[in-house]
Amino acid sequence: MKVCTDSCLFGAWVAHAIEQKEFNPKNILDIGTGTGLLSLMLAQKTNSFIDAVEANGDAYTQACENFKASLWNKQLHAFHSDIKKWKTPNKYDLIICNPPFFENDLLPEDEQKNISKHSHALSLEELLFAVQNLLSEDGNFAVLLPSNRATWFESKAFNHSLFAKECVLVKQTTKHNIFRTILILKKQKTGQVMKTISIKNDSNNYMPEFIELLEDYYLYL
């Protein structure tokens, strides 16, 4: 499975927030962990216990192997389950999710409808329902979305009593339009902070802020 730059930025952004004490989670839930990328990034920056749930069998197997091989294996616990059916008594101080909807958003409308009718994947509405049930009262929910879905997602989150406290607009370069949005949501209404980050500058070199966030994870920057 490919490791995308925007996913790495997302994980690094949330990990940095933990380092800066913006979040202080005792436990973390990674919904749709895939091969465990985000969980592994967060484990490097916190002593929190991390539960990583993945419905796809192959991805779950790879996540287990990656967790076992890491230095942080005692913090990491993978579960092979659909989050809609997963049972746990826990409430989580931080929930993180990078839903795999990006490719679908680029398809023609008819093809999107066809996929939505036949896909067994977690919908964004179902994701919000799961988060509302699993998030602690003072917890934070971090999600990475295609920018054209962010406003819609915020409105749906409002219906689930989840409110955006931070919105990070992500650009490929300083010249490009926004293509991803990082949202941080809580169960309490707060003033929303807006930020923008560009991955590269006009000369196609990584921006200093991006390097600072990712230098602990990338071998070469």
pTM (predicted TM-score): 0.90
What is the total count of domains within the chain? 1
DSSP class of residue 1? Answer: -
Q: Is 191 among the domain residues?
A: yes
- Structural domain boundaries enclosing 190: 5-214
Which element (helix H / strand E) includes 182?
strand 178-186
Q: Is 109 among the domain residues?
A: yes
Long-range pairs for 177-181: beta carbons < 8 A, 24 or more residues apart: 177/147, 178/147, 179/6, 179/146, 179/147, 180/6, 180/10, 180/144, 180/145, 180/146, 180/147, 181/144, 181/145, 181/146, 181/147, 181/149, 181/150
What average pLDDT score do residues 206-221 get?
92
What average pLDDT score do residues 13-40 get?
95
Q: Is 156 among the domain residues?
A: yes
Question: Could you report the per-residue pLDDT of 190-199, keeping only the tens digit for each?
Answer: 889 999 999 9
Percent of the chain whose predicted confidence (pLDDT) is above 70:
89
Q: Is 187 among the domain residues?
A: yes
Question: Could you report the per-residue pLDDT of 90-123, keeping only the tens digit for each?
Answer: 999 999 999 865 444 444 455 444 433 333 467 8
- Residue 142 is predicted with a pLDDT of 98
Q: Is 55 among the domain residues?
A: yes
Q: Is 119 among the domain residues?
A: yes
- Residue 131 is predicted with a pLDDT of 97
Q: Is 220 among the domain residues?
A: no
CATH number, domain with residue 136:
3.40.50.150
